[in-house]
Amino acid sequence: MQQLTAREILDMTLSEVPERLSVPKTDVRKALTKLLRTWHPDVSTDPRAEEVFEHVVSLRDRQANSGKVANADLGERILKTRSGHRIRTVPLSSTTVDQGEVFVGRESYAMLFGSDFSDMAQAELRAIEGFRFANQAMRDQMSFSLPDLVRKEDLEDGGGLVVVRKTAEEILLSDVLRLRGAIPDKHLAWIASGLLNITAWLEYAALVHGAISTEHVLVDPVKHSVRLAGGWCFATSVGERPVALPGRTLDLMPRMGIPGTPAETTLDRELVRQTIREAAGDPRGTNGGVAALPEKMSRWLQMAPTAKAVDDYSRWQAALEAAWGPRTFVKWDLRAASIYG
């Protein structure tokens, strides 16, 4: 990759990235992620580092959005398995992520791993099959929040496909943001609560997910349920060094790129905060979206996580009660059909 100056990067458009960074179009996301690590304000000493970082984030967001297309544009996809079978699918949406693509179907969420990430497809499968629960009651409670495996296929090209079940009303959070924009504060409330509940289970299971993001979260606007459907290939046991982490996680927590840094449960709750800031339309917490939230919600989003997940959850619930009083169910005029047709 060519070494560019701050000025050269700031002048660079998305269409110019392959030529300016000397990478093929298929590696644009990887190249931009590498650039983000170099220009992160906590790493770079260049006086324009923050400005460059925000510009590259914008480029990568636009590149990711270019991989999200409407149902009418996707058409049928045919995947060939290593055993010679063909899988026909017509995704409702498709999103590019670090390890491949996310497909959303009417009642399925699928991770398509490229040939370079076949080991991560296996890691996704192992993580899901390895979920543990204290008892049947916990298993039943978490069934609405965790992926329910449907199938895993090794593909002819060396990649892999992992499919989990979703309900007809569940919507990928990134699709909501793409088509509806920032989410109203009272709905951010239950989405954050659902994600924090998942982080409490992760802490019990001594796991760090490491990739909580809008591309891996399904929300049900009817039942107000939240499911962490994908990204489990990055999951790591607490205290161990992650084998891999997505670029967004390393952008947010560059210290995780330092060799030997172990995974801690607070990482997932940092990612929850970032996901909610993005859902509020304010990923950097600087354009007013977070500041416009009720004061204690806004403050919680800008605070460092507490040591224990249950304490973080309790503080979030206290912030919601301070904003609106006792908990109530607020209807949302959003349905899966309005997003996916």
Q: Of the given ranges (47-56, 124-133, 193-202, 205-214), which has the lowest mean pLDDT?
A: 47-56
CA distance 194 to 281: 19
CA distance 334 to 181: 12
pLDDT digits (tens, 9 = 90+) for 220-244: 999 999 999 999 999 999 999 999 9
In this structure, whether the domain defined by 171-340 belongs to CATH 3.40.50.970 is answered with no
- Burial profile 276-288: b = 16 or more Cβ within 10 angstroms, e = fewer: bbbbbebbebeee
Residue 61's pLDDT is what? Answer: 72
Q: Contact 276/191 with Cβ under 8 angstroms?
A: yes
Residue 316 has pLDDT above 50, yes or no: yes
Residue 72's pLDDT is what? Answer: 41
Each domain of the chain, given as residue ranges in start order, spans: 6-65, 71-132+148-165, 171-340
Q: Of the given ranges (190-199, 206-215, 276-285), which has the lowest mean pLDDT?
A: 276-285
Q: Which of 213, 231, 247 is nearest to 33 (CA)?
A: 247
Q: Angle 28-39/49-65 helices, nearest 10 degrees?
A: 160
Residue 69's pLDDT is what? Answer: 42
Strand partners, 81: 155
Q: Contact 208/202 with Cβ under 8 angstroms?
A: yes
Read off φ and ψ for residue 78, nearest 5 degrees. -115, 120
More confident residue, 24 or 137: 137
Residue 44's pLDDT is what? Answer: 86
Sign of CA dihedral 202, 317, 140, 89: negative
CA distance 210 to 228: 12
What is the DSSP track for 65-102? HTT---HHHH--EEEEBTTS-EEEE--SEEEEETTEEE
- pTM here is 0.81
Percent of all residues in the chain with a pLDDT value above 70, rounded to a whole number: 95
Residue 200 has pLDDT above 70, yes or no: yes
Residue 289 has pLDDT above 60, yes or no: yes
What is the DSSP track for 18-34? HHHTT--GGGHHHHHHH
Average pLDDT over residues 135-150: 96
Fold adopted by 6-65: Helix Hairpins (1.10.287)
Residue 70's pLDDT is what? Answer: 40
- Give the DSSP letter of residue 255: G
Average pLDDT over residues 284-299: 83
| H or E segment and range at residue 42 | none
Which amino acid makes up residue 341? G
CA distance 125 to 200: 22
CA distance 269 to 192: 10
Q: Contact 63/32 with Cβ under 8 angstroms?
A: yes
Residue 73's pLDDT is what? Answer: 53
Contacts 24+ apart (CB under 8 A), 279-287: 279/173, 279/177, 279/182, 279/183, 279/188, 279/191, 279/214, 280/182, 280/183, 280/185, 280/188, 281/177, 281/181, 281/182, 282/182, 283/57, 284/54, 284/57
Query: Which whole-number Å values give the CA distances from 226 to 143, 214, 217, 223, 325, in the listed order?
Result: 11, 11, 7, 9, 22
Residue 68's pLDDT is what? Answer: 45
